[in-house]
Chain A
Amino acid sequence: MSVQYGPDLQRWYRYWITFSTLLQKEVMRFSRIWVQTILPSAITTTLYFVIFGRLIGDRIGSMDGFPYMDFIVPGLALMAVITNAYSNVVSSFYSSKFSRYVEELLVSPAPAWVILAGYVAGGVARGVTVGIVVMLVAMFFTDVSPHSWPITLLVFVLTALLFALGGFINAVFANSFDDISIVPTFVLAPLTYLGGVFYSIDLLPDVWQWLSLLNPVLYMVNAFRYGLLGTTDIPLLMAFVIIVLFIGVFAVVSLRLLERGVGIKQ
């Protein structure tokens, strides 16, 4: 018997199954290779805490009224979220393009937005998982506990969502495995390091402060810092507006690319 299609409820149930199949596949993928996907961030963050927090941080003193090690916790956690959400989608979708098994999805009745949602949810799952691991490491080194749980969790998820979409767009345009490392190296890393992870922008000269405001990562780091520590360089509402705006633009672009089959259909 063929699958029956027609009534809305049935169609939405079918979309849900497609989405959950994709999400499950993505979670299995990064769980199976956890040594390559989850462990590295835990090790890197431990090193950051030992070197910047304990060895150098003690000489820096306080930042915005917090011990330096506490101050860098939000930025380090968010850095891990950004990197992992992005790289999960870019590598997974590019691999499916390269080995052509993206065709399994293209021949299926799943609409483009369900396919996009499945891949992006996989990226969010990895970003949030690694973010939690980093926070557990941070709790070992510091006494930080969230100032506001809802804001902490919301920024975690929204940031992962934004960069998972970014990873998808990168994968669509990538023509080789080299292309999927260009953006993380030349765009993501500078944006993250200059996004106020390690310092407050109040320390910068006016021109650099103004330039920093063009960096979307700054808004995420500060919103997350507010969630964890209760302090921020940027008004919270503005931070959320900017994050949601970027998510909207990236989502529309990703969907259009997938619907038109850019990079995957001739």
Chain B
Amino acid sequence: MHALAVEQLRKVYRSGFEALKGVDLSVEEGDFFALLGPNGAGKSTLIGIVTSLVNKTAGRVAVFGHDLDREPEAVKASLGVVPQEFNFNLFLPVEEVVVNQAGYFGIPRREARRRAEFFLKKLDLWERRRSEMRLLSGGMKRRLMIARALVHRPKLLILDEPTAGVDIEIRRAMWDYLRELNAEGTTIILTTHYLEEAESLCRNIAMIDQGRISAVAETQTLLAGLDIETFVLNLTAPLAGAPGLDGFTLTQLDDTTLEAQLHRGQSLNDLFAALRSVGIEVASMRNKQNRLEQLFLEMVDRGRGAAAAQAA
């Protein structure tokens, strides 16, 4: 069953800006799905419509088979959302935020308190349960938004930039928890600017740009489609200039550093062998760009090029 099915979704804001231009998208139950796109691509509008925070102009949204127009209560009961921006009453204590949210979903007070304790402990916030929201750090607020979104135990969790502004240690802990939730059966959709996050967590990815879905595929399939990968090579000895090697594009960054671009089908072993043949030894190496990021930029360029050609 589809956890989320979106058909021909359109959104035109009052200003006349068309944020979504007929989006079709489906996410399978149990999936860990990433929605990627540049700023203004339509990600937050899409999530806003699915979570009833934005009114759609046209199209259809269904969550676990429930139509948003006909069965809004069933749709909302299945959904948990972690928005991009903080949306708290800053003067409420942490625990009350979670307990009240449970109450809004019709969970009795005693059960709400029990669940709040469970999720606040799980997200390492229990010690701060009596603190007012405004006294929490950014990372704590992000974790609290996750606790709040989970308190009614949704089957589909949607996270809009969940780790923005969160330090690496907390981000890793949040990733672990999201993996755990997904393993327990919660379908997860996230948008992120940290493409490493999507590459590390998500099984499937949709790319959205200028209000249209430009690609949907398994993460590994998308990565396999990469044309070029760029590596930075640290050399054992300084060089006077970048060597010319057939089939490889090399650029010298400084005396002991080269940048190498490998096309699909070329292997690192071939590159190392070619370098060794001209007397260059590699001491260490790193991938210059996140692979998904590179793919994303390629796809955006391709999509915009096609749109420009169509317009001409």
Contacts and interface: CB of A to CB of B under 8 A. Distances in A.
Q: Is the interface of A mostly helix, strand, loop or mixed?
A: helix
Nearest to B105: A108
Contacts of A105: 104
A104 B72 contact: no
B89 A99 contact: yes
Interface in B4-33: 13-14
Interface stretch (A15-23, A77-85, A146-154, A214-222): A15-23
Contact of B77 (A1, A22, A24, A109): A109
Given A107-B52, A109-B77, A101 B106 contact: no
B108 interface: yes
Given A2-B153, A261-B55, A99 B76 contact: no
A266 B106 contact: no
A104 B52 CA distance: 11
Interface in A85-117: 95-96, 99-101, 103-111
Contacts of A15: 106
Interface string B146-180: 00100011110000000000000000000000000
A17 to B, nearest CB: 5
Contacts of A106: 52-53
A186 interface: no
Classify chain A's interface size.
20 to 34
B120 interface: no
Interface in A1-60: 1-3, 5, 11, 13-15, 17-18, 20-22, 24-25
B155 A2 contact: yes
B54 interface: yes
Nearest to B48: A266
Nearest to B74: A5
Contacts of B52: 106-107, 265
B76 A108 contact: yes
A3 B80 CA distance: 13
B85 interface: yes
B103 A101 contact: no
B260 interface: no
B89 A266 contact: no
Given A5-B77, A99-B89, A107-B52, A18 B155 contact: no
Interface string B66-103: 00000011101111010101111110000010001101
Contacts of B104: 18, 21-22, 104-105, 108, 110
Contacts of B153: 1-3
12 contacts: A2-B152, A2-B155, A17-B107, A18-B104, A18-B106, A21-B109, A99-B89, A101-B89, A109-B74, A109-B105, A265-B53, A265-B55
Interface of B: 13-14, 48, 51-55, 72-74, 76-79, 81, 83, 85-90, 96, 100-101, 103-109, 148, 152-155
Given A24-B103, A100-B87, 5 more contacts: A3-B77, A18-B106, A99-B87, A105-B104, A261-B55
Interface of A: 1-3, 5, 11, 13-15, 17-18, 20-22, 24-25, 95-96, 99-101, 103-111, 260-261, 265-266
For the complex of A and B, 8 pairs with smallest distance between CB atoms: A21-B103, A14-B106, A108-B104, A100-B87, A109-B73, A109-B76, A109-B77, A101-B89
